[in-house]
Chain A
Amino acid sequence: KAGVTQTPRYLIKTRGQQVTLSCSPISGHRSVSWYQQTPGQGLQFLFEYFSETQRNKGNFPGRFSGRQFSNSRSEMNVSTLELGDSALYLCASSPKWDSFEEQFFGPGTRLTVL
């Protein structure tokens, strides 16, 4: 079974731009969670999607948004980029909602904001 895939793997943007990151979960998995990893704040939960609905959200500003498609693929969007948004963005998939005991992580997208 193929693992979680994230595209692109690396991205460079400038302040004020917006960016869209993509995550394809493991086949059959219906839940996708997103995490931000930075040296200062560590790993922080962004949001979780299940059956095309956001089920849970972390403490991030409204510039961070996401969606999930009927095939369970998910995208996250960051608008009006700030330097502090530079991070590794990880997505994780699991078979069902709130099932982090069976959560599998992708390789991440490294976003650099200049």
Chain B
Amino acid sequence: AQSVTQLDSQVPVFEEAPVELRCNYSSSVSVYLFWYVQYPNQGLQLLLKYLSGSTLVKGINGFEAEFNKSQTSFHLRKPSVHISDTAEYFCAVSDRGNQGGKLIFGQGTELSVKP
């Protein structure tokens, strides 16, 4: 079964600084990878996804992620963060079995942007 590890539970950063949120997944077989953001008292919003093709994926709000198959990583980056980026970020991987698929989520990284 797939698993996802988000290496940092909390990442504090100052406004306008760059940030990287790290994500590793367990399987080397073909997978789909996702980053979601969750603002307080809200559901999950898709930031970006990797399905195939270019390993550098651009998403909404200036975020991007790089798929690295050899390191089984999918780290999320933003060159300059804003206060409004303060939220929890979840990395997820597709997991397909005989009875269908589901998303396997990491434990989340709380990004806190300080002025």
Contact = CB atoms under 8 A, between A and B. Distances in A.
B69 interface: no
A42 interface: yes
Given A42-B105, A42-B107, A101-B94, A57 B99 contact: yes
Most buried by B among A4, A43, A48, A97: A43
A74 B52 CA distance: 31
Given A42-B107, A42-B108, A100 B102 contact: yes
Nearest to B50: A101
B100 interface: yes
Interface string A86-114: 00001010000110110111111010000
Contact of B100 (A44, A55, A103, A108): A55
Interface stretch (B22-30, B38-46, B75-83): B38-46
A110 B46 CA distance: 20
Chain A binding site: helix, strand, loop or mixed by DSSP?
Answer: strand
B100 A56 contact: yes
Max chain A C-beta neighbours (<10 A), residue from B36, B43, B107: B43
A108 B101 contact: no
Nearest to B102: A45
15 contacts: A33-B102, A42-B105, A42-B107, A43-B105, A55-B99, A57-B99, A92-B44, A98-B101, A100-B32, A101-B94, A103-B103, A105-B43, A105-B44, A106-B43, A107-B42
Interface of B: 32, 36, 41-46, 49, 51, 90, 92, 94, 96-97, 99-108
